[in-house]
Amino acid sequence: MKNYLAILGREWKSYFSSPIAYVVMGLFLLISGVFYYLLVTNFVQMCMQADMQARYYQMAVPKLNVNMMAIRPLLHNMSLFALFFLPLITMRLFSDEKKSGTIELLLTSPVTNTQSILGKFSAAAGLYLLMLLLSGLYMAVLFFLGKPEIGQILTGYLGLFLLGLCYIAFGLFFSTLTDNQIIAAVSTVAFILIFWAIGWISGMASPAVGKILGNFSLIEHFDDFAKGVLDTRHIVFYISFTVMGLFLSFVSIESAKWRGR
Q: Which residue has the higher pLDDT, 151 or 30?
A: 30
pLDDT band for 166, please (50, 70, 90 cuts): very high
**Mean local confidence (pLDDT), 167-186:** 90
Residues of the chain by 3-state class (helix, strand, coil), percent to 5: 85, 0, 15
Contact predicate 226/156, CB 8 Å: yes
What's the whole-number average pLDDT of the chain? 83
**Mean local confidence (pLDDT), 70-80:** 89
Q: What percent of the chain has pLDDT over 90?
A: 30
pLDDT at 60: 62
**Mean local confidence (pLDDT), 4-14:** 84
List b or e across 19-31, with b for residues whose CB sees 16 or more CB atoms inside 10 angstroms. ebbeebbeebbeb
Q: Is the pTM of this model over 0.75?
A: yes
- Host domain of residue 59: 2-259
pLDDT band for 78, please (50, 70, 90 cuts): very high
CA 122 vs CA 4, 11, 163: distances in Å: 9, 9, 15
pLDDT at 155: 93
For residues 225 and 183, give the distance between their C-alpha atoms in angstroms, rounded to a whole number. Answer: 31
**Mean local confidence (pLDDT), 173-181:** 88
Please count the structural domains in the chain. 1
3-state secondary structure of 92: coil
Nearest C-alpha neighbor of 11 from the set 134, 96, 130 = 96
Q: What percent of the chain has pLDDT over 70?
A: 81
The continuous run of DSSP H or E covering 133 comes out as helix 113-145
> pLDDT tens digits for 225-239?
988 888 899 999 999
> pLDDT tens digits for 89-124?
988 888 877 777 666 666 667 778 888 889 889 999
pLDDT at 59: 66
Q: How many CB atoms lie within 10 A of CB 36?
A: 23
pLDDT(248) > 70: yes
Map 27-74 to HEC letters: HHHHHHHHHHHHHHHHHHHHHHHHHHHHHHHCCCCCCCCHHHHHHHHH
pLDDT band for 256, please (50, 70, 90 cuts): low
**Mean local confidence (pLDDT), 3-23:** 84
**Mean local confidence (pLDDT), 145-173:** 89
pLDDT band for 221, please (50, 70, 90 cuts): confident
